[in-house]
A and B are shown apart, each in its own frame.
Chain A
Amino acid sequence: MIPAAQVLSADHDDTLALARGGDATAFAVLVRRHQAMFFSLALHVLRSRAAAEDLAQDVFLELYRNLWNLESTAHLVSWLRRVTGHRCIDELRRLRHRWELPMDEVPERGASARPRDLFLEGRLQQLVARLPPRARVVMVLRYQEELEPSEIADALQMPVNTVKSHLRRSLAVLRAGLLKVGQP
């Protein structure tokens, strides 16, 4: 049994190797390292903490079951993006009627942000929430994870041109939506 301290201080690939060897502590460390990414991705897409936690639960256990197929930390991250992205799309399709949720579903933590920014950020989140499932996940991967279109295409297993088209159309929708603010 490898001491927890050693696991905590090991670099990422060592931790993955330890987790693949059945070390549950190493697995827990892996989860903690990456949970912000996949929880946040689900939260931004689904706009519900409960739904994001449910989805995290599935991704979490599926990760454990697939550790033996993951060869490196980069592979693990790309696997998490792909699985989380696809599950978000599936969940949105399943809960089609709940696409638009009230803004208070996503509490803002940035207390230092100015009120005007909060309003704009909230409006942008609301507009993104009205996009179709795939477009919504593309937007969150682009702006939360700052992925390039080719990386998004890889994560969601869709052509790069489709990703670019989603981004282009979504940005146009957002611009139009923002212009409507303040109009009677």
Chain B
Amino acid sequence: MKITIAMWLCLLVGPASALAQGARLQLDHLDRLASEAAQSVNIAIDPAMLKLASAFLKAEGEQAALKAMLAEVKGIYVRSLEFERQNAYTSDDVNRVREQLTAPGWARLVTVDSKRDGELVEIYSWRQGTESGGLAILVVEPMELTVVNIVGPLDLTKLALLQGNFGIPRLPVDAPPAGRED
């Protein structure tokens, strides 16, 4: 009986929580890897912090471009872990991110899977109706695991406006909505 109730709860609460989560990925499970990483970056910027950062940016030059971008963004979350050895993270660590990216709203834009280099990069976009609501970049390499999650109406086209700044290249904005793989 208890199991049946738990199953019904999962069925009812699961999709609801996935929707409530929106374009924000939960990456806390990766924090335990930070102590094993040779280099780690943990960035979590919420709306209040973005507002604060934006308030002190000038309306000219590179700062103006950043200010305009931040006006639309609702959150920036990054976990980047570089290890000195292989297999420092598990497939479960990656799958827990991927599971979230299968939730309604997320669509994979590009996949680059290089078997030769053991390098996998996936770009996902989150949409609510026709509106873009977020972006996720997942990078899986033998000695690196990186997740970039930008929440807000920012797609590759808008990110391309920043190209030339912050090391952002000319972006594959015309990439098809489905995944492309090697």
Chain A, residue nearest B52 (CB)? A22
Chain B, 166-177, contact with A by CB distance < 8 Å: what is the 0/1 string?
000000000000
What does DSSP make chain B's interface, helix, strand, loop or mixed?
Answer: helix
A170 CA / B150 CA spacing, docked (Å): 47
B46:A68 contact, CB within 8 angstroms: yes
Judge if A109 is at the interface, Cβ distance under 8 Å. no
A95 CA / B51 CA spacing, docked (Å): 37
CB distance from B143 to the nearest CB of A (A): 22
CB distance from B35 to the nearest CB of A (A): 9
Judge if B44 is at the interface, Cβ distance under 8 Å. yes
A68 CA / B50 CA spacing, docked (Å): 13
Chain B, 139-181, contact with A by CB distance < 8 Å: what is the 0/1 string?
0000000000000000000000000000000000000000000
Chain A, residue nearest B49 (CB)? A65
A68 CA / B48 CA spacing, docked (Å): 9
A22 CA / B54 CA spacing, docked (Å): 14
Query: What are the residues of chain B within 8 A of A68 when measuring CB–CB?
Result: 46, 48
A176 CA / B131 CA spacing, docked (Å): 70
Within 8 A of B (CB), among A55-103: 65, 68
Query: What are the residues of chain A within 8 A of B46 when measuring CB–CB?
Result: 68
A68 CA / B52 CA spacing, docked (Å): 14
B52:A65 contact, CB within 8 angstroms: no
Query: What are the residues of chain B within 8 A of A65 when measuring CB–CB?
Result: 44, 49
A57 CA / B173 CA spacing, docked (Å): 41
Chain A, 98-127, contact with B by CB distance < 8 Å: what is the 0/1 string?
000000000000000000000000000000
CB distance from A11 to the nearest CB of B (A): 23
Within 8 A of A (CB), among B40-59: 44, 46, 48-49, 51-52
CB distance from B102 to the nearest CB of A (A): 27
CB distance from A91 to the nearest CB of B (A): 14
Chain A, residue nearest B43 (CB)? A65
Chain B, 42-78, contact with A by CB distance < 8 Å: what is the 0/1 string?
0010101101100000000000000000000000000
A22 CA / B46 CA spacing, docked (Å): 12
Query: What are the residues of chain A within 8 A of B52 when measuring CB–CB?
Result: 22
Query: What are the residues of chain A within 8 A of B48 when measuring CB–CB?
Result: 22, 68
A181 CA / B155 CA spacing, docked (Å): 69
CB distance from B45 to the nearest CB of A (A): 8
Query: What are the residues of chain A within 8 A of B44 when measuring CB–CB?
Result: 65
CB distance from A184 to the nearest CB of B (A): 45
CB distance from B33 to the nearest CB of A (A): 16
A68 CA / B46 CA spacing, docked (Å): 9
A157 CA / B52 CA spacing, docked (Å): 32
A68 CA / B47 CA spacing, docked (Å): 11
A102 CA / B57 CA spacing, docked (Å): 45
A65 CA / B76 CA spacing, docked (Å): 13
Query: What are the residues of chain B within 8 A of A22 when measuring CB–CB?
Result: 48, 51-52
Chain B, residue nearest A90 (CB)? B35
CB distance from A20 to the nearest CB of B (A): 8
**What are 7 inter-chain pairs, A to B, with CB distance below 8 A?**
A22-B48, A22-B51, A22-B52, A65-B44, A65-B49, A68-B46, A68-B48
| List of 5 A-B pairs having minimum Cβ-Cβ separation, nearest first | A22-B48, A68-B46, A68-B48, A65-B49, A22-B52
